């Protein structure tokens, strides 16, 4: 499939993203424009996110067209809803759906395929970790971000994933807890990257974390209170950040251990923005048969959606 490409668009509550993959399944563009959040705030309302995407999309799509060059766009993939679940919906994804359908109309009505934001994350993790071609059976995926902390059982069905939710948080998402701690310390949202840099500078001894994990479920709301207590007592951003990541990391390690007890040495793929954190990744990497997205493909992106688009197109056209 020479000179053919596939477009992916994703409009999450954090980033406007567009990506391009070629006919062989290689990502050739992975473009992102973060949504701006005012100092002291812990995220965006959906109406503000939609408005931000509308402002970001024209420039991002112009940059994408430059990458397309003389290639022929065969189809467009778009993240249309958060998860592969009934009634899964967030208004911010309507921005991407509108952009994808406008692109299609201007290109003579080429196909538009809709996927979940979550499936895009999983596909990006499989691609960037080198797991594609290595996993030919069921696998588990942790989707850990500001909007989601879930464990799913995934089955590759050819053009997407059939998924079953089997665990995750029962209150705060991991990314939420991290960002709330960061904003509390006066950092700019999203706070994960700055907090990681601070945590790597920590010299203090991290206290034993009293995590809350039962089976494949966890509670993370206690981390917000713990971070607030530690920071009020120490005024040490590096130490507080290190405690936060230690808590999240130990929670995910315990969940992974419980998953292994139930499903054996099933492959595990870690996806989502939180999984770009090197501290947490190092804590989880001791387990065999484990795959991590690279940082560029961990945070919100449209690369996985472009790859899913290619697979869907190929399956419908019965060609490779």
Q: pLDDT tens, 51-110?
A: 999 999 999 999 999 999 999 999 999 999 998 888 899 999 999 999 999 999 999 999
Confidence band of 39 (pLDDT split at 50, 70, 90): confident
Confidence band of 158 (pLDDT split at 50, 70, 90): low
Predicted local distance difference test score (pLDDT) of residue 320: 46
- Is the confidence at residue 319, as pLDDT, over 80? no
Domain 4-133+298-317 has CATH 3.30.420.40: yes
Predicted local distance difference test score (pLDDT) of residue 38: 87
Extract the tokens encoding 86.
Answer: 């009934």
Q: How far is CA 67 from CA 130, 165, 238, 240, in A?
A: 24, 37, 40, 42
Predicted local distance difference test score (pLDDT) of residue 159: 60
Same fold, 4-133+298-317 and 166-294: yes
Mean pLDDT of 106-129: 94
Q: pLDDT per residue over 266-306, tens digit each?
A: 999 999 999 999 999 999 999 999 999 999 999 899 999 99
Q: pLDDT per residue over 192-237, tens digit each?
A: 999 999 999 999 999 998 999 999 999 999 999 999 999 999 999 9
d(CA 262, CA 249): 20
d(CA 285, CA 117): 25
Confidence band of 317 (pLDDT split at 50, 70, 90): confident
Average pLDDT over the chain, rounded to an integer: 94
- Is the confidence at residue 239, as pLDDT, over 60? yes
pTM here is 0.90
The class (CATH top level) of 166-294 is alpha beta
Extract the tokens encoding 132.
Answer: 């594609």
d(CA 234, CA 159): 51
What is the strand order of the sheet 139-144 is part of? 212-214, 217-219, 161-169, 149-156, 139-144, 268-271, 290-292
Domain borders along the chain are 4-133+298-317, 166-294
Predicted local distance difference test score (pLDDT) of residue 213: 98
């Amino acid at each position: 499939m020479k000179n053919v490409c596939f477009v992916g668009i994703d409009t999450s509550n954090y980033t406007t993203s567009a990506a391009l993959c070629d006919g062989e399944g290689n990502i050739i563009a992975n473009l992102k424009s973060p949504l701006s959040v005012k100092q002291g705030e812990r995220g965006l309302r959906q109406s503000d996110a939609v408005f931000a995407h509308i402002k970001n999309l024209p420039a991002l799509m112009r940059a994408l067209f430059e990458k397309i060059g003389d290639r022929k766009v065969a189809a467009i993939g778009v993240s249309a809803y958060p998860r592969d679940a009934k009634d899964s919906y967030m208004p911010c994804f309507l921005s991407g759906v509108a952009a994808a359908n406008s692109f299609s109309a201007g290109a003579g009505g080429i196909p538009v395929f809709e996927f979940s934001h979550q499936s895009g994350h999983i596909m990006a993790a499989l691609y960037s970790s080198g797991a594609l071609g290595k996993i030919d059976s069921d696998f588990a995926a942790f989707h850990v971000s500001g909007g989601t902390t879930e464990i799913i059982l995934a089955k590759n069905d050819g053009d997407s994933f059939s998924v079953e939710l089997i665990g995750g948080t029962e209150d705060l998402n991991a990314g939420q807890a991290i960002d709330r701690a960061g904003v509390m310390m006066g950092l700019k949202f999203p706070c994960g990257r700055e907090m990681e840099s601070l945590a790597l500078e920590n010299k203090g001894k991290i206290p034993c974390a009293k995590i809350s994990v039962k089976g494949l479920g966890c509670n993370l709301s206690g981390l917000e209170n713990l971070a607030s207590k530690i920071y009020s007592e120490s005024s040490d951003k590096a130490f507080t950040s290190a405690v936060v990541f230690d808590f999240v990391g130990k929670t995910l390690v315990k969940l992974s251990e419980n998953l292994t007890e139930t499903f054996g040495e099933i492959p595990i793929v870690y996806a989502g923005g939180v999984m770009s954190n090197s501290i947490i990744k190092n804590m989880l990497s001791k387990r065999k048969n484990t795959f991590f997205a690279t940082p560029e493909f961990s945070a919100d992106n449209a690369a996985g959606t472009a790859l899913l688009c290619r697979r869907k197109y190929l399956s419908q056209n019965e060609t490779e």
